[in-house]
Amino acid sequence: MPTPFRRGASTAAALLAIVAPLAAARAQQPAGLAPREVPAHSLPVPTTVSPEMQRIIAMPLRPGWNTPPTTAEGWRAAQEAGAAAARQALPALAQRLRVRVEPTVIAGVKAYTITPETIPPENRERLLVHVHGGCYVLNPAEAALGEAIFMAGLGGFRVISVDYRMPPEAYFPAALDDVVAVWKATAANTDPRNMAIFGSSAGGALTLEAVLRAKAEGLPLPAAIAPGTPMADVSGPGDSFRTNALVDNVLVSPDGFCDAATRFYADGHDLSDPLLSPVYGDLRNFPPTILTTGTRDLLLSNTVRMHRGLRQAGVEAVLQVYEGQSHAQFYRDDTAPETREAFAEIAGFFNKHLGR
Amino acid sequence: MPTPFRRGASTAAALLAIVAPLAAARAQQPAGLAPREVPAHSLPVPTTVSPEMQRIIAMPLRPGWNTPPTTAEGWRAAQEAGAAAARQALPALAQRLRVRVEPTVIAGVKAYTITPETIPPENRERLLVHVHGGCYVLNPAEAALGEAIFMAGLGGFRVISVDYRMPPEAYFPAALDDVVAVWKATAANTDPRNMAIFGSSAGGALTLEAVLRAKAEGLPLPAAIAPGTPMADVSGPGDSFRTNALVDNVLVSPDGFCDAATRFYADGHDLSDPLLSPVYGDLRNFPPTILTTGTRDLLLSNTVRMHRGLRQAGVEAVLQVYEGQSHAQFYRDDTAPETREAFAEIAGFFNKHLGR
């Protein structure tokens, strides 16, 4: 007999509260359950996305995905190469999306302000904090700014993007410390009910970790958050690490550069600590959350597990999954209709929840 | 230069309305874009789901998935085998979930009423119409009722399940005609603001098709709908038909029994007709919609494309994606916590939108 289901609860939160947490399943190995053998196959580029997105989906696997740096100098060279490439591309992107980018320092932490040429009236009092991705190690300085510029330009929001410290300069929890320091300082000057935090990949995880930290320290919470394809569990489990291995052309495989980078940041710390794997955190009373991923994303499972965890905790959490996209491909090309759709969804969610 | 993005729109609907419809991409073949070659690999049963769900995920590929019947007699035998198995299992299921099942006829269409032993006060005036799945050909009579019983028992709703005509008795659009006839008759006796339509797979498609038909005929619309993993596009496209081929252990492959059954029902009719592939329909003014799928679902793309289409049309549409599940595995085992979670989400969505 199943456990009795309590009838009459009138909200999803009440109904979900009695569902046994799935985290309990984590420790259990499915002993004796046979794996599925999948033969080699060829995946055509889908016809169900725009031509711009088709070009992104058709790109080969990221070069060097399985040959990450093995020394601090090697990681530093990778960081600098990314920043140099971004410095080249940024002026044209900022011009196309009509935003002004300026470096600043907030609470001792390097950051950038991104200001749209035109700010719609309902956004005048609003401020977003952006946390970049890059597996906790990549995308310093200008390399952090693409997603922030998309949000500022497409959504008409003022954005502060945090250029948090990364290895080999500083290790866990330095990145989180910096994000929280910027959050605390900006939320002291702007009503946090008019603020949101967003970011993808490691930036999505840091967004979630910052809320866990803010809850623990009694800091104000943002009115909403938008973690894109968050690295919500870096401890290993997650079905799409297998189903989308060598399907996702960005992260490619759980045994690739991103895993190596995360271990470099964690510096021996337990990878299942909720401040590295927020899916294991106490998610009650999280602000409204919009999550974004794609069907080919190596972190599809991380994203949907995070969504389920938030829903089980009674949080207003919505999920956007885009056809055919690998990891974080919703902010690759500002001319792709899917890019504009993804940022319109996030902007709409912020418009719904900020200033209430 | 990109097309200018209109700033200042304050709702998601307004922002999304200017996104170019992706349907335009459908006709374009990605000529010259290389497919991705995926080597053979072994997929372990994930540790991130309950033990009950692990057993479902570990099941081998559905026997005979690629040897569908080729004659009307063969399909009829498959129908009858399914109904006979269901007749055996139903009494225990109905008892466990404390519902009463009775056959009836509504507007000349065979149906069943499913009545929970206890109906919570807020559901006394509410009535759900259920449309079963089975690729438009399978699951007649009692075989239709599992999902309906789960919804009635777990959610505390009165449910009418439509035992619509199927081939070889009748072909497209007979199933839809029957669903719409039952909808019209029940919505004449119950305030449609207190009603919803739900169902999965072909039943999810028929749910969407019934709304298209109701809009076209000026019938009242339900207050909400819950299409589970809908066969929203049976004309071929959809990335997960390839990425999840031989990963999904229920539908297994787009070249399997479900495709054969759908062609049997369509009987030569254009498969991209919105009354067979509702993703191509006019989705404006659809009622609030909750969609459910799993990361291994062959119809993951069908589901997320339907979600995107609804959102582009300005509809309140939410998406639930469950870790590791293949097609429609959210209603396999009433003791699995994921089953209760999925129906709690749908019940919560109905509670939010019915009776407003």
Model pLDDT for residues B335-354, shown as the tens digit of each residue: 999 999 999 999 999 999 99
Q: Is A4 on the interface with B (CB under 8 A)?
A: no
Q: Could you give the CA distance from residue B140 to residue A208 in angstroms, rounded to a whole number?
A: 47
State the smallest CA–CA distance between residue A76 and chain B in angstroms.
31
pLDDT at A264 over 80: yes
Q: In three state form, how does the secondary structure of A72-86 look?
A: HHHHHHHHHHHHHHH
Nearest-CB residue to A337 (from B8, B22, B55): B22
Q: Is B59 on the interface with A (CB under 8 A)?
A: no
Nearest-CB residue to A36 (from B29, B43, B50): B43
How many residues does this entry show for chain A?
356
Query: Residue A68 in contact with residue A257, Cβ under 8 Å?
Result: yes
ipTM of the prediction: 0.92
Domains and CATH numbers, chain B: 81-353 (3.40.50.1820)
> pLDDT grade, residue B30 (50/70/90)?
low
**What is each CA distance from B30 to A17, A45, B143, B208, B299, in whole angstroms?**
46, 7, 41, 29, 21
pLDDT for res A356:
75
Q: Is A41 left (phi over 0), alpha (psi -120 to 50) or beta?
A: beta
Query: Residue B263 in contact with residue B236, Cβ under 8 Å?
Result: no
- In single-letter form, the type of residue at position A94 comes to A
pLDDT at B215 over 60: yes
State the smallest CA–CA distance between residue B320 and chain A in angstroms.
7
pTM: predicted TM-score of the whole model, two decimal places: 0.93
CB pairs under 8 A between A and B: 306
- The percentage of residues in chain A with a pLDDT greater than 70, rounded to a whole number, is 91
Angle between helices B300-312 and A337-353 (to 10 degrees): 60
Across the interface, whether the CB atoms of B319 and A318 are under 8 A apart is answered: yes
pLDDT of A101-154, one tens digit each?
999 999 999 999 999 999 999 999 999 999 999 999 999 999 999 999 999 999
Mean pLDDT of A22-40: 68
pLDDT at B287 over 50: yes
> pLDDT grade, residue A15 (50/70/90)?
very low
Q: Could you give the CA distance from residue A142 to residue A50 in angstroms, rounded to a whole number?
A: 28
Q: Cβ–Cβ contacts within 10 Å for residue A40, how many?
A: 9
Mean pLDDT of B101-111: 98
Residues of chain B contacting A307 with CB distance shorter than 8 Å = 320-321
